[in-house]
Amino acid sequence: MKFFADTADTAAIKDLAATGLLDGVTTNPSLIAKSGRDFMEVTKEICGLTDGPVSAEVVALDHETMMKEAEVLRKIADNVCIKVPLTIDGLKTCKALTSEGTMVNVTLCFSANQALLAAKAGATFVSPFVGRHDDNGFDGMSLISDIRLIYDNYLFETQILVASVRHATHVLESARIGADVATMPPAVIKALANHVLTDKGIEGFMADWAKTGQSIIK
């Protein structure tokens, strides 16, 4: 399963890229606003921090303007992935862009039927929002299972990019189901390494090692 960072914070992206665990980045208008930076400038910088796809979202709601915005965005770098909302205009834009070989992430997916449409539109990625689904009394992970089943039934190549990930259990369940990607806030990616028994084990080994009076590096 690929790990994308769901952020426009370049310091956090650099930090994660250095671990070798980062496979790409997703942004959205809210994350760009949070960064306080110029959209084009920060997106270009992010594209230079990873070889993987970097999702940059259109803000138009109609197909013609989405195409014009995509034209500007895709010139930023070869690894830009155009993010479009799951609307009829977004799907039309997705079809047009992927037919030309441009990567597209169809976002704001909240139902398996919407995911079916994204696949039929040739999406590179579909982004079901599990956290927001849970927040509204639905079961985010059962949505991922349904999409996996449907995509496998028809051999769709659209990758399931689990978004709105809030905690480690979302990641674990995504991996169990066989989602292709999880995009997560950097803190969630780092928290996956935490375990109380790992900390306790290190503490014990360090205490015993100190008793030997030895050092590995002379």
| Residue ranges that bind ligand G3P, judged by CB under 6 A | 6, 26, 28, 129, 131-132, 163-164, 183
Q: Which of 2, 68, 83, 95 is catalytic?
A: 83
Least separation in angstroms between CB 9 and ligand G3P: 13
Task: Please list, in sequence order, all residues whose beta carbon lies within 8 angstroms of the beta carbon of residue 86, skipping any fewer than 6 positions away.
Answer: 106, 107, 108, 109, 110, 114, 117, 118, 126
Least separation in angstroms between CB 201 and ligand G3P: 33
Which of 94, 108, 109 has its CA nearest to residue 143? Answer: 109
Task: Please list, in sequence order, all residues whose beta carbon lies within 8 angstroms of the beta carbon of residue 147, skipping any fewer than 6 positions away.
Answer: 112, 115, 126, 128, 160
Q: Which is nearer to ligand G3P, 43 or 183 (CB)?
A: 183
Q: Which is nearer to ligand G3P, 97 or 162 (CB)?
A: 162
Least separation in angstroms between CB 181 and ligand G3P: 11
Q: What are the DSSP E strand ranges found in 43-170?
A: 54-57, 80-85, 104-109, 125-128, 159-162
Catalytic residue check, 75: no
Q: Which is nearer to ligand G3P, 26 or 159 (CB)?
A: 26
Catalytic positions, please?
A: 83
